Amino acid sequence: MKHTPAPWYYHLKSPYFAITTKESSGNPKWDIARTYTSFDAQLIAAAPELLAACKLAVRYVAKMVADEVKTALPPEIALEHIENAIKKAEED
């Protein structure tokens, strides 16, 4: 599944926040999503960058697993959580 490319922005359009692909709020047809809290709007707007960070982290942590690196949190556990988050973001 392909999502709308980054960057995403959020704008207050009382009574809701619109998540858009444009720096200015403008036309409602640019809205990707709407929410009623600024906290949710910030999180949704950060989604493309968070997904990209997870994909990068998978490569790094997978290397740690392959190299059998020992840490306080076993890399296998971190890898499983990151892969599950990516799967949730990309499933159809």
DSSP 19-32: EESSSS---GGGEE
Q: Are residues 56 and 77 in the same domain?
A: yes
pLDDT at 73: 84
| 1 within domain boundaries | no
| 3 within domain boundaries | no
pLDDT at 1: 61
pLDDT digits (tens, 9 = 90+) for 43-79: 999 999 999 999 999 999 999 899 998 888 888 999 9
Q: Are 69 and 62 in contact (CB under 8 A)?
A: no
pLDDT digits (tens, 9 = 90+) for 2-27: 888 889 999 999 899 999 998 877 77
Q: Are residues 57 and 31 in the same domain?
A: no
Q: Are residues 39 and 68 in the same domain?
A: no
Q: Are residues 60 and 41 in the same domain?
A: no
| 60 or 1, higher pLDDT | 60
| 36 within domain boundaries | yes
Q: Are residues 13 and 40 in the same domain?
A: yes
What pTM does this model have? 0.81
Q: Domain count of the chain?
A: 2
> How many other C-beta atoms can be found within 10 angstroms of the C-beta atom of residue 44?
18
Residue 38: domain span: 9-45
| 63 within domain boundaries | yes
* Residue 73 DSSP symbol: S
